[in-house]
Amino acid sequence: MTPSLTQRFVAEVIGTFFLVIAALLSPSGLTFALVGATLLTMVIALGQVSGSHLNPAVTLGLIAARAFSWREGLIYIVAQILGAFLALGFGQLVDRRLPVAGSHANAVWFESLGTALLVFVVVRIVIAKAAPAASALAIGTALAVGIAIAGPSSGGVLNPAIALVLLSSHLLKGSLLTNLVYLAAPLLAAIVAALIARALAPSEAETPARLSAANPGTGSR
């Protein structure tokens, strides 16, 4: 059983979302590096689901080369555009130019996003049974990207255990309630990310034979 078209659609939406997020929200001077690192992470995490096109130009090129079905290609392109606009919407929601009063809320959003990215990649790596070297590279890169994106707004903790220590040490500012939200929101984001990552698996155990069909070079003509 190969990944369904719906699963591939969702994979392209998610992959493009994180790629555009890296482009929009990365600190000045790090954009190119973080976009490249995010692309690397998404290829390892989602390549076995959709082929990780994450770019209408790539999909169109594969269609032109008769290496990918034009019908599925159009669906991929819609997914990529949707992911890009979702990223734009999120970027506007957590714009760092918001007043200081909204900074704590921004921190929660960024911590949740970074944690979701890390957990999503970890779960996908586990499900795909990626090689140890590729797993270490993808997870380490995902953590680095998450910290770089979230860092300016929240410190890029991405770990509720560390956040709890900071809270206990009175290093997190704000009321107890807002700090509890700061701890709980990333945990909720992690659960949602894990469930989405699991939903992209075509079966209980993905095998190379099943996953090869998701490679862009094997699409129907």
Task: Return d(Cα 96, Cα 93) in angstroms, integer.
Answer: 9
pLDDT tens digits for 118-157? 899 998 888 888 788 888 888 888 888 888 888 777 677 7
In this prediction, residue 30 carries a pLDDT of: 76
Task: State pLDDT tens for residues 155-206.
Answer: 777 777 777 766 666 555 556 656 666 678 888 889 999 999 999 887 654 4
Q: Would you say residue 177 lies in a domain?
A: yes
Give the span between the Cα atoms of 200 and 7, in whole angstroms.
5
What is the tally of structural domains in the chain?
1
Which one, of 157, 114, 140, 121, lies nearest residue 22 by Cα? 114
Q: What is the pLDDT of residue 191?
A: 92
213 in any annotated domain: no
78 within a domain of the structure (yes/no): yes
Task: With respect to residue 210, please indicate whether it lies within any of the assigned structural domains.
Answer: no
Arithmetic mean of pLDDT, 36-55: 90
**Which of 145, 144, 183 lies closest to 161 in space, CA to CA?**
183
Confidence category of residue 102, pLDDT binned at 50, 70, 90: very low
pLDDT tens, 46-63? 988 998 899 998 999 899
Q: Within a domain: residue 149?
A: yes
Among the listed residues 56, 43, 57, 54, the one whose alpha carbon sits nearest the alpha carbon of residue 17: 54
Higher-confidence residue of 112 and 214: namely 112
Return the percentage of the chain with pLDDT > 90, whole number. Answer: 22
- Whether residue 95 is contained in a domain is answered as yes
Q: What span, in angstroms and rounded, lies between the C-alpha atoms of 153 and 193?
A: 21
CATH of the domain at 10: 1.20.1080
Q: Is 180 domain-assigned?
A: yes
- Could you tell me if residue 83 is inside a domain? yes
**Domain that residue 150 falls in:** 5-201
